[in-house]
Amino acid sequence: MNKSITAFLSVIVLLSIAACTAPESQPIAPTPTLPNIIIPTPPSCTSIPVQPTPGPDSPSIIPPVSETDHTRGPEDAIVTVLYYGDYQDVRSGLFEETINRIRTEHPEDIRAVTRVFPLLSVDDKAALAAQAVEAAAEQGKFWEMHDLLYAQQENWIALSVEDFEQWVTAQASALEMNVSQFESDLKREDIVLKVQQAWEEGQKIGLPGVPLVLINGQIYGGPRDYNSLNDIVRLIALGKRQFACPPMTVQANKQYIATLHTEKGDVVIQLFADKAPVTVNSFLFLVRNGWYDDVTFHRVLHELFAQTGDPSGTG
């Protein structure tokens, strides 16, 4: 009896194993693949026009520069800085100092255009100061009075209106103006109206305050310190020195060495024309065209690296 049960169980186990055995799989024919064919292409150069900012005549809510504006610098300057100021406003005075410094350093690249936006509801002498500049303009002394009021703000912004009138009249005399004419023009009806209209026009177009600065027709809301503005002018001015792609003259089988002459000594650089022919070719072209002459190191990390090659000095 036990033998029969054992044999029966063995048969069940064998049948179970047979049932669980997977059928033999049929081989799948491999899918044919095409080899990747790499077609070598010669290195290329693309010339990209650089236009850091729109031109000075780009559309804007701010009226464009006209013959009635007071400007300093060449009319065809690559950078036009237009700014609204209030002679009694300290920030306007600081900006005036900054833009004059930059204009002196870049006399051929920048044109400065000044407009008055007297904050009549804030500064008690804003209108009279603007009238003084217009009265001086009647005697060809606009810039002299303009510069004087900004440069000597600390001497008059705390004065009363009456004391300021006496002070500015004394300055007109020091500037060798006809004092009687200046006193008459200071409160002349059309000059008073002109200053009032400057305030109203600023309100109409929504000037948020002073100094309001536009660079090539676009409102500039960034830092107004010397370094920031000077970098912008230098970068825009650099656009005049853009080149088209140079002809390919380097040879991959030749060795090229460049030597940087610095105040601390020479730096010798090996150029790998076989690895980067376009880069080496462009580098040599720029060298021959004086691109790197008198260029400083714009970034130096001690015992790590030094970066140079940007004439603007901004990196």
| pLDDT for the residue numbered 301 | 87
Question: pTM higher than 0.85 for the full model?
Answer: no
Q: Do 84 and 117 lie in a common domain?
A: yes
Residues in the chain: 315
Q: Are 228 and 110 in a shared domain?
A: yes
* Predicted confidence (pLDDT) per residue in 62-101, tens digit: 999 999 999 999 999 999 999 999 999 999 999 999 999 9
33 belongs to a structural domain? no
Q: What is the pLDDT of residues 186-238, one digit of tens each?
A: 999 999 999 999 999 999 999 999 999 999 999 999 999 999 999 999 999 88
Same structural domain, 135 and 195: yes
> Residue 217 in 3-state DSSP?
coil
Instruction: Out of 209, 240, 271, pick the residue that ends a domain.
Output: 240
- CA-CA distances (angstroms) from residue 48 to 45, 51, 184? 10, 9, 58
92, 94, 87: which is closest to 135 by C-alpha? 87
Strands 110-116 and 79-85: parallel
Query: Quick one: 116 and 227 in the same domain?
Result: yes
Residue-level pLDDT at 35? 61
| Residue 239 DSSP class | G
Domain boundary among 214, 240, 266: 240
Residues 6 or more apart whose Cβ sits within 8 Å of residue 172: 132, 135, 136, 141, 145, 179, 182
Asked if 184 and 97 sit in the same domain, the reply is yes
Query: To the nearest whole percent, how much of the chain has pLDDT over 70?
Result: 81
Residues 155 and 287 in one domain: no
* ω into 211 cis (within 30 of 0): yes
Q: Are residues 164 and 260 in the same domain?
A: no
Give the pairing type, strands 265-271 and 305-308.
unpaired
Confirm whether 297 is domain-assigned.
yes
Radius of gyration, CA atoms only, the chain? 37
Would residue 60 count as lying in a domain? no
Which residue carries 């009635």 as its tokens?
68
Half-sphere exposure of 188 (CA within 13 A, CB side): 18
In a domain? residue 22: no
pLDDT digits (tens, 9 = 90+) for 258-311: 898 888 888 888 999 898 988 988 888 888 888 888 888 888 888 888 888 877
Number of domains in the chain: 2
User: Where does 25-160 have alpha helices with state H?
Assistant: 90-105, 126-137, 142-151, 153-156
Same-domain pairing of 107 and 143:
yes
- The residue range of the domain holding 126 is 70-240
Q: Residue 136: inside a domain, yes or no?
A: yes
302-310 own/partner pairs: CB under 8 Å, 24+ apart: 308/260
Please indicate, yes or no, whether residues 233 and 267 belong to a single structural domain of this protein. no
Mean pLDDT of the chain: 85
Q: 234 with 261, same domain?
A: no
Report the CATH number that the domain containing residue 136 is assigned in CATH: 3.40.30.10
Asked whether residue 232 is domain-assigned, the answer is yes
Distance from C-alpha of 178 to C-alpha of 182, rounded to nearest angstrom:
6
Residue 151: what pLDDT? 98
Residues 77 and 124 in one domain: yes
Closest by CA to 250, choosing from 292, 287, 283, 290, is 283
**Does residue 302 sit within a domain?**
yes
Domain boundary among 240, 272, 291: 240
49 within domain boundaries: no
What is the model's pLDDT at position 49? 56
Together in a domain, 109 and 208 = yes
Q: E-assigned strands of the chain? A: 70-72, 79-85, 110-116, 212-215, 218-220, 256-262, 265-271, 297-301, 305-308
